[in-house]
Structure 1
Amino acid sequence: MSDTSRIRKNYVLIKFQKLVVVSILIGFLSAFLGVVLKRITEYYEDIFFNQANVNSLFYVFFPVFGFSVIFFLREYLFKKKENKGIKEIFESINVKSKNLPSYKIPSHFINGFLTVIFGGSTGIEVATVVATATIGSVAQTKENVFGQYKTELICAGVAAGITALFGSPIAGILFAFEVISKKVTRAFLISNLIAVAIAFGLLFLLDEKPLFTVNTTTWHYSAIPYFILLGILAGLNSVYLTRCVLLIKSQFSKIKISYHKVILGSAILSGSLLLLPQLYGEGYHAIKMIFIDSNEAPLSFTLAFTFIGILLLKPIVTSVTLASGGDGGVFAPSLFIGAFLGLLVASVLNRFFNADVIPINFMIIGMAAVLSASIHAPFTAIFLVCGATNNYTLFIPILVVSLISKYIAKTVYPFTVYSFSPSIAK
């Protein structure tokens, strides 16, 4: 072997070793951040939501206080920069000279936390994803040798963050591929597999429980036509969510004085929470409640009206939350909408058509279907929901319905909140 070949081989080996080490660090730091944010958000959201249930005046006070704190933090601590969500990741990947600044880690962590605990009708998923992507972005700037692995290391942070939130390493890698990278390289596989393995190991050590506790053991082939119907409705609901977010953000952007957005957004959110408290925060508390009660409450006019109100209002209050300066995205709202849509469809089928379907199955499938259609990432949605429920019994119907809902959504409206830009739409 010539000296040149030996030097080249040693360089490749050193580069590989450094990639492994940095992937381990990214995986651990991203997963730790995700777990901490998830735990403290769940803890304080539960406290504040219970206080608001006792005294409904808090439904008015919490949103205006939370949005105001976020506004002043952005003005005086975070360089007056608005958080753009996952689009920030795309900008960093597409522009070689542009990196995610390190202040994005505390900015998204703090603002995502404050948004949800004070009633903002979104989730911490996008805040976590951007914060963990920033860990990967910062890591690649520390060594010149990592310059060519910018996308891969950002994706490693994202994959580890998703793994921490939903307990599914496969969903983490698939999200990084389907939504962020859209291509697979050897470095992508190495860095992402290591990062999610470390993240999943941390979840095991911390004894993290599945996000949702469900008990579903079977499904019936006779329900397939109804599953297809659910997929179609899920696709249409996701388009409604996407269009709401884009339209309301566009309208709020016309408001010149920033704090007026806070006032208007708080007023809309407070009124919605007084009407339907289920819309508070991530909404996971409401999902857990209907998982428990899905087979007990017969469909009545009042219940049907409540479900329809939730499906109509959730996209609006989510959009207002984001347009008012809240930090979040469409992950949690999609799961929320899917669960209530699935329960409504199952309840109507059983009440009026004697279909004898299993409501909890429709809730789980609905969650995956709406998420799949909202982010145009069906395989991410499949494994994310299966991981979040720690149950793969419904894998086949989830697969079918998620593909249908994505196709319907993309046919009706080809953009997601991530991919839309005014220049493309024209």
Structure 2
Amino acid sequence: MNKTAKIKKNHQFIVLRKLIIVSALIGFLSAFLGITLKRMTEYYEGIFLREVSLNPIYLVIFPIFGLSIIYFLREYLFKKKENKGIKEVFESTKSTSKNLPSYKIPSHFINGLLTVIFGGSTGIEISTVVATATIGSVAHQKENVFRKYKTELICAGVAAGITALFSSPIAGILFAVEVISRKVTRAYAISTIIAVSIAFALLSVLKEEPLFTVSITTWHLKAIPYFILLGILAGMNSVYLTRCVLFFKMQFAKIETHYYKIIIGSIVLSVSLFIFPQLYGEGYHSIKMIFGNASQLPLTITLAVTFIGILILKPIVTSITLVSGGDGGVFAPSLFIGAFLGLLLSSVLNTYFNTQVIPLNFMIIGMAAVLSASIHAPFTAIFLVCGLINDYTLFVPILVVCLISKYTAKMIYPFTVYSYSPSLIK
């Protein structure tokens, strides 16, 4: 081996070693951020929900108070700096000069937390994604040797953050591929696998439990036609969610005074929460409740109207939360919509057609299906939902329904809230 080749080999080894070390550090910091945000949100949302149940007047106070705090933080603490959410992550990975500034870590952490605990009808997932992507972006700027691994390090942070939230390393890796990088390189594989491994190890050390505790027994081939129907309905619901977000974004952009947006958003949120308290926050508390009672809920006209009302209003209040200044995305709303859609469909089938399908199965498959269609990432949705319940019994029907829902959504409207362009809004 000549001297030049030897120097080149040594350099590659040094770069690889540094990449491994920085990926492990990104994985740890991103997972720690994700776990901390998740625990804080669950804790304070539980406290606020108890207050709301005792004093419904808080349904009026909390939304306007939360959105106002976020507004003043952005105005004065973060100095009116731009906040485009996950679109900034896309812009950063596509540009060699545009980086994610470090203020986005505390900004999205704090604003995501405040949005949900004060009743904003979204989730902390996209707040976590942007904050952890920023960790990767900041790391890539620290040494010249990392300059060419910008996308890989951003994806490492995102993958570790998703792993921390949903206890699924595979979902973390797939989300980074399907939604952000769209390609797999050797450096990507090394950095993301190391980051999610560290994240999963931290979850194990801290003994993080799956978000939902359910017992899946089996599924039946005779239910496949109904699963297909669920996939089609999920695709249609996801398009409704996407179009709602884009429509209200366009309408609220016409309002020049930001505090008018807060007032309008707070009124819509408060009225909606009065009618359907299930819409408070990310809605995981409501999903847990219907998981426990799914097989015991006889479908009545009142219950059917409640479910339909929730399915119609959820995309609206999610959109209003986001355009009024709240921090979040469509992850949690998609899971929420899917759970209620699956329960409604299974209840209708059992009550009026005596199909004897298993409502719990339909809820879980519905969650994955709506998420798959909303972000056009079926494989992320599959492993994410299986990770949420720590059970892969429904893997095959979830796979089929996620693909159906995604392509149903793309046939109706080919864009997601992540991929749309203002010129395409009609």
Q: TM-score range by the shorter chain?
A: over 0.9
Give the equivalent residue in structure 2 for 1:59: 59
RMSD, aligned α-carbons: 0.8
CA-CA distance at 1:424 after TM superposition? 5.2
Give the equivalent residue in structure 2 for 1:353: 353
Mapped partners of 2:196, 2:128: distance in 1: 15
Aligned 1:329-368 pairs, distance under 5 A: 329-368=329-368
Mapped partners of 1:307, 1:91: distance in 2: 38
Aligned 1:20-419 pairs, distance under 5 A: 20-419=20-419
Question: Equivalent residue of 1:152, what SS?
Answer: helix
Q: Confirm or deny: 8 A CA contact 1:120 1:269 kept in the other structure.
A: yes
Q: Confirm or deny: 8 A CA contact 1:82 1:325 kept in the other structure.
A: no
Give the equivalent residue in structure 1 for 2:19: 19
Mapped partners of 1:416, 1:372: distance in 2: 11
Question: Equivalent residue of 1:295, what SS?
Answer: helix
Mapped partners of 2:302, 2:47: distance in 1: 28
Deviation sequence 1:324-383 (CA, Å, 0-9, x none): 000000000000000000000000000000000000000000000000000000000000
Deviation sequence 1:163-201 (CA, Å, 0-9, x none): 000000000000000000000000000000000000000
Question: Equivalent residue of 1:217, what SS?
Answer: coil
Q: Confirm or deny: 8 A CA contact 2:246 2:425 kept in the other structure.
A: no
One-letter identity of the residue aligned with 2:354: N
Mapped partners of 1:61, 1:423: distance in 2: 37
CA-CA distance at 1:423 after TM superposition? 3.6
Q: Confirm or deny: 8 A CA contact 1:122 1:332 kept in the other structure.
A: yes
Mapped partners of 2:300, 2:245: distance in 1: 31
Deviation sequence 1:196-220 (CA, Å, 0-9, x none): 0000000000000001111111000
Mapped partners of 1:243, 1:424: distance in 2: 11
Mapped partners of 2:76, 2:169: distance in 1: 37
Deviates more, 1:34-43 or 1:49-58: 49-58
Question: Equivalent residue of 2:194, what SS?
Answer: helix
Deviates more, 1:332-341 or 1:416-425: 416-425
Deviation sequence 1:128-167 (CA, Å, 0-9, x none): 0000000000000001000000000000000000000000
Q: Confirm or deny: 8 A CA contact 1:23 1:195 kept in the other structure.
A: yes
One-letter identity of the residue aligned with 1:145: V
Deviation sequence 1:86-116 (CA, Å, 0-9, x none): 1010011111101000000000000000000
Mapped partners of 1:71, 1:294: distance in 2: 39
One-letter identity of the residue aligned with 1:326: G
The TM-score normalised by the length of structure 1 is 0.99
One-letter identity of the residue aligned with 2:135: I
The TM-score normalised by the length of structure 2 is 0.99
Q: Confirm or deny: 8 A CA contact 2:133 2:157 kept in the other structure.
A: yes
One-letter identity of the residue aligned with 2:341: L
Aligned residues: 426
Deviation sequence 1:65-105 (CA, Å, 0-9, x none): 00000000000011212421110100111111010000000
Q: Confirm or deny: 8 A CA contact 1:83 1:108 kept in the other structure.
A: no
Question: Equivalent residue of 2:296, what SS?
Answer: coil
One-letter identity of the residue aligned with 2:49: F
Mapped partners of 2:43, 2:55: distance in 1: 19
One-letter identity of the residue aligned with 2:199: A
Mapped partners of 1:237, 1:75: distance in 2: 35
Mapped partners of 1:56, 1:67: distance in 2: 18
Mapped partners of 1:11, 1:92: distance in 2: 27
Deviation sequence 1:361-416 (CA, Å, 0-9, x none): 00000000000000000000000000001010000000000000000000100000
Mapped partners of 2:83, 2:388: distance in 1: 27
Mapped partners of 1:70, 1:269: distance in 2: 16
CA-CA distance at 1:425 after TM superposition? 5.8
Deviation sequence 1:257-304 (CA, Å, 0-9, x none): 011111110110011000100000000000000000001110011110
Q: Confirm or deny: 8 A CA contact 2:122 2:281 kept in the other structure.
A: yes
